């Protein structure tokens, strides 16, 4: 790695995470987090100073081992997430547990392990949340609950870490044209209309704006909605 600042992006193998990695590659060395090693290697091969960081985020022991060698970290972007769209009567305990484990608990544990490295750099934590973290709609119960919890976590982290100079940004995109969203739309039984969705590049631009803001500016919450086309 070079002397540039370092960013770790989870969920970097595809979707918003991959595009965020591309947007930060011009200014940051990158750790590309995810489970799909082949996809991470393919992405790292075309980005300067990037390397795969494969880990199972829901495995605390694996997280501890993977973070042990990170002593300074400028940016941590949480992009990994899962979504199941079901009425509450069909939302089983396993669906609830997966939503909370991936979307909240793994975020909290990874951030906890990296706090010393983030404090050393007076770094920045960016959490890709969702419009569902602001408004809950039918059939989105487990996902919305996890994203409301993620927003609360970000607010507490921001308040507690302000004395260490840590910045914390929640990004709330509307529906975005990703593989996950295509799957969600199929589950809902509707046609997929990409022109009504945000592009991942637009969400990545919000992340880049927050991360590269001047020292006197702290973007605490960014809401991005699809524009009418």
* Burial classification of residue 180, based on how many CB atoms lie within 10 Å of its CB (0-12 exposed, 13-18 middle, 19 or more buried): middle
Count helices and strands in the chain by DSSP H and E runs:
8, 7
- Residues 1, 49: Cα–Cα separation, whole Å: 6
Catalytic residue among 143, 153, 192, 197: 143
143 is known as an active-site residue: yes
Element (H, E) at 184: helix 179-187
CA distance 179 to 169: 24
- Beta carbons of 42 and 227 less than 8 angstroms apart: no
Q: Please state, in angstroms and rounded to a whole number, the distance separating the CA atoms of residues 126 and 211.
A: 8
Q: State the virtual CA torsion across 13, 75, 70, 40 in degrees, nearest 10.
A: 10
Q: Which residues contact 192 (CB under 8 A, 6 or more apart)?
A: 182, 185, 186
What count of other Cβ atoms lies within 10 Å of the Cβ of residue 196?
12
Stretch (H or E) spanning 78: strand 75-78
Structure tokens at 71: 């002593």
> Which residues carry out catalysis?
143
């Amino acid at each position: 790695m070079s002397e540039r600042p370092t960013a770790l992006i989870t969920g970097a193998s595809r979707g918003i995470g991959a595009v965020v990695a591309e947007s930060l590659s011009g200014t940051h060395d990158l750790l590309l987090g995810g489970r799909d090693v082949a996809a991470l290697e393919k992405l790292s091969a075309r980005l300067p100073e990037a390397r795969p960081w494969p880990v199972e985020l829901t495995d605390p022991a694996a997280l501890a081992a993977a973070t042990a060698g990170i002593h300074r970290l400028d940016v941590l972007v949480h992009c990994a997430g899962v979504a199941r769209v079901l009425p509450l009567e069909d939302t089983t305990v396993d669906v609830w547990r997966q939503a909370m484990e991936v979307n909240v608990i793994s975020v909290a544990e990874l951030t906890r392990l990296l706090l010393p490295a983030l404090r050393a750099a007076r770094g920045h934590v960016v959490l890709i949340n969702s419009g569902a973290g602001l408004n809950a709609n039918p059939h989105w119960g487990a996902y919305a609950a996890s994203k409301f919890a993620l927003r609360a976590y970000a607010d507490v982290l921001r308040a507690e870490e302000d004395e260490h100079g840590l910045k914390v940004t929640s990004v709330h995109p509307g529906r975005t044209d990703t593989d996950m969203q295509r799957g969600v739309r199929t589950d809902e039984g509707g046609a997929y209309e990409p022109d009504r969705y945000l592009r991942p590049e637009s969400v990545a631009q919000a992340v880049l704006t927050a991360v590269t803001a001047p020292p006197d500016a702290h973007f605490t919450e960014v809401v991005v909605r699809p524009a009418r086309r």
